[in-house]
Structure 1
């Protein structure tokens, strides 16, 4: 066997080093080596860039993030600047970070390594962004901290029109919004029911979630509501935001509101998703809704809370996800009693079946195979009466399907959105 003089570990290290830092930086570094530091360059190329960066256990973007966090925490600002610059414009484009990804790394490091380190890190990073911004299409612009908000929670606002509706706006993260989506929650819940899905959809859409009257941070008039009134609330929200036509995604009560809105204001609805809902209840169930109202009036929402959780979540889910179920229970029992009763009346008297053929927007209907509150047969009735409607039944889901089966729910919505023009 012939002798191979190549130092394979060194060559692998140089390959990784070029991939991460870029050819120009590596060539400049090598050209500056001397008889004093050449061995050190040899060492770090083999061990840092081959032994660590060459390991397949983490993606290189993850390793970039780790290096930025550690160098910032330790105050190694020359190394930090090197890796910020290379993360934005150097090396393989597939391993680079966007300015927003860089910002998230600095934000998280602030918590774990201290605000002073992050303050200096932001200063260095901004100087580099001013330098390389034109290359990557990014511009630093003045912005008041008063206008900033948590991108994972959205910006909380209230309608000017009355009764006031509390709503939340997430702007599309990846440039111009493809669509505007409105998320409408179930009875006894609030807009946080949608947080997980909202953050997924906000990648390329503006997403509005809101509290129905009587729920969360919205006004709660002390009267019995009707579904047309809840649909009128929805219409004025869309009109006040001037964001229509929208993709309406509603679950249970939210799906009922979506039906009424699409019938009464078709110009405001581009597409409709109705989940775990119905277009009408039989007389026996209507009577049960009136009984619920009387029970809540007599004993408060606590009197019906356990029964509601049993309808919202199936037995196995309640056992495996007790903490999540407890959170929904707390939200239910903290709902304004007058508002809850008012919405119970609207839900219990819903009646759109005969008018469903008037819905002209593309429609997806999602049902839970285990749903006792809105059995699959109710979704089949809606699918049969709405022209061109598509029905998807999620296995392992009861009434709050977006909470029990979030990924299949999101997939069904994503496929529906992808098919829209």
Structure 2
């Protein structure tokens, strides 16, 4: 399938007046999306685009998935919010199914990915004080350089991305940064007050950085030996994106806590969660942590439908098989405007030769050809189409990238 009239003048829809009143915390491409189905979206002028970002993996199951929409519509007609002051009939089935999917026995439901990270930090500190016996206010957590876990004040306190942290201090103490992929440096940074290691198994915002195959197994061994929690931020990398339910599965590693979000809400509603066992998550007591919307019946109904889709294994299989096709096609572009390709499943980081163009310029050229992608860190672009994308769509998208590279190289 190709977008309508891809050879026509690619004039962009004018940005609506209302959008001009939005805070300038994003620099979007000049396209105004009006609807979507599967892996494709349509703008206000009726032009179709292949979505190769999938809302940073939040739309893993495609736009307007009929199963997820049916679950949402059914719940909308019943009740959408009760707060956690009361039980609701959707929360129990959701957390039970999600715990089973993760192989754990307790779920802390929240809303956004950043809330899941913040919650994981609080749980780790509480566990450190109440179980490990760390002295009050002395806990530290080890993180990796190049990380992206969100943009709250605490989270940017341990970011080395100046665009996320510059001008927002003072910062939250209690974090130690080590190089990503270096297990020896991670162990050297530990002391008796270390309560957790917080990592993205594959770093997304950094450019889909895949660590050495022995890295996560080494982290698991080190954290176990030192009685330190291993927290895996699978908010972007999890829920089928890399060809497995979790990217940790690719190397046979089970963390103490999973941080989940994005695709857990099916692209319909914000849903996030911290998932672990009761000996860790059970340290929280009533009143110590919460969320008015966390675990609401609407979110739980959609989240349960998502978990049921993942339980079939179909989406993980598609990501593995189509991901192999995607990476094979992209690797063929190395030396032809592409310096390196990284990733797993339907997730790819593509380093463009900086002498040729910036990542932004490549994404703008792809937009003209009907492909939506996103740049990061200068000359890197990311591809993360919905897992319902077809083989023909993938071939077509890579062909558009190849054509863009040829155009940019022309004198």
Shorter-chain TM-score above 0.5: no
TM-score (norm 1): 0.21
Q: Which has the higher helix share?
A: 1
Instruction: Report the structure number with the largest CA radius of gyration.
Output: 1
TM-score (norm 2): 0.21
